[in-house]
Structure 1
């Protein structure tokens, strides 16, 4: 982007097309704008970020910022080019590039919200799209349960096929979404006790109470990273 007119055009594409099309959460939007500011606005396609510096820049904890960065990559908004001790090298795409990639990528079929023409009201303003209930479908729930091996993500107790809950790793009240990378299978007890805690904070509390062992906690961290 070389001129103020280019910036205005990109901003309109973000607000009118990209954000409503992918239903980016507030945190996802903040992260994307931050990455865009330090890449394309500086006439570069890439930016190198570390998890801690990124977290401080957008006001989130390191694990949460890492989660949302992976969500943006899954939604084809950014691309991981390199990972090292110096951080991640990311390619940051402009809105029209993202829409073009989604239109030709098989991965777009797995997104909760498909990119489509934005509906507008009588005043010409983008109309909000209804929230998708797709994640509540039985096939989706079955995939989540199978991924967890039929056990609670937290306490690892076996789950009855018809008596368990979908739990948000990052709670909705903290900006969490309802995609497969942020949903796990949980027993009703863990789901109720966890409340508005993040998954890591909840299991840390279980560890302090000696409900889970150090070995189980390490296993939990591996499973959390693999989401």
Structure 2
């Protein structure tokens, strides 16, 4: 009897989920891959992290200027046309972050990147003067030094084969950010075994996994995995 009731509840849940997707798709009338009950389009992203952007790019080619995807019941709109992107990033009203940003809060707190509303506006107003030309000009020696290190790194890797640029550029950016904002030189481009750099790399990979993985995005399932312990340690 209990098994029958559980089965009925499961069927009802699946049917309800399917009805939700059908109604939502019609409501917004934005093209995209057909969602499955419960998981939405989560099945598309059960892959290695290095294939994630390729899948999004393929969908952009297929659905042109904009498309929608569902991860579980969460809806995402992906924009590729400059006109739509400009409207979004120039808006001072559309500033509420998606739920994916919640994954960043244990690491970054509730700052400019993750906050919204009055707090976001006050933080932005406070930080804007820091990006004035005269301020940035004083950091040119830092940018030049780290830029030269970046060039040396790229020269060593220039053997005619393709390379993964993201890790190289990320370390250069980290050197610039920490040295200009925090006044601390990490030498991230040279010190590959730095504990700080390793922690950033670990937590960045975990965040990326949580954003694309149906089950890892759920706090309960995430708490049961080794990734949670690695996340807390980082």
Query: What interval of TM-score do these two structures reach, taking the shorter chain for normalisation?
Result: under 0.3
Q: Calculate the TM-score normalised by the size of structure 2.
A: 0.25
Q: Calculate the TM-score normalised by the size of structure 1.
A: 0.26
Return the index of the structure with the highest Cα Rg. 2
Higher helix residue share: 2
Higher strand residue share: 1
